[in-house]
Structure formats: C-alpha cells, structure tokens
Amino acid sequence: MQKQELFQPELDRYYFDWTLKGSAGWCQLDTAQDFSHCGHWVNPIILKFYTFVEGDLIITQAESEEEFKQELKRIIDFFIRMDSFKCIDPMANDKNEEALERLGFGYALAGVFAS
C-alpha cells in the first residue's frame, strides 16, 4: 500500500466531487461526517482512495485487489463503529457497482446498506 499525504488548505470537498468522476471509476463513500471540508472517495477500478479532511489529503494506492478489499473493509468498519457510515455511491456508473459487488461490497452500495 502506497500513501501520499498532502496539505491542500485552498481546496474543499467539492473540488473532488467535480474532478473524481464516476465515469473514471470513482465512487463516493458517504458518511454522516461529510461536509464542505470532509469527504472520502474510492476507485475499485484502479484500487485507489482519496480522503480529504480540512485540508489534509491522503491518497492511498492499493497494490492488489486483496489489499484494496482489506483497506475498504477497514474504512467501512471504522465508520460503522462510529455510527457514521451511510453507503458507497457508485456515481450512477454500472461498472463501478459491478466492481464493488465483485469485490464483496455489494452490501455497502447506495440503496442497499441499512444501518
């Protein structure tokens, strides 16, 4: 797993909402903590994560599908324990939804997950 940590105080979550497109494999990981300076995105196609919290940006690249699955499960479980997980939104992209289902995360998709 490769991680890159940056500080981007000039950005807000809407920058990522506009640039990380569903058509490019990006999905939004929705939590109760989301606001203009906090958001989480996952890409099951290229096995990548973006986490943005108040200017701190962490970009994580999994080296394999297994590593991606472990990391996504860890993140989902953390937010479930915090009673904050809502769902993974595949951004109206069937390929994203299919990839998440194939990786075992169909239960977490928007319209499926029930807290």
Range(s) of the domain holding residue 70: 2-108
In a domain, 98, yes or no: yes
* Stated pTM of the model: 0.93
- Starting at the edge strand that comes first in sequence, how are the strands of the sheet with 2-7 ordered? 2-7, 56-61, 48-53, 38-43, 27-31, 85-89
In a domain, 43, yes or no: yes
Query: Mean pLDDT per 10-residue run, the chain (115 residues)?
Result: 96 95 96 93 98 97 98 97 96 96 95 68
Total tally of structural domains belonging to the chain: 1
In a domain, 63, yes or no: yes
Angstrom distance (rounded) from CA 70 to CA 92: 24
In a domain, 114, yes or no: no
Return the sign of the alpha-carbon dihedral for residues 87, 21, 58, 101: positive
In a domain, 115, yes or no: no
The residue behind tokens 């109760």 is 32
In a domain, 38, yes or no: yes
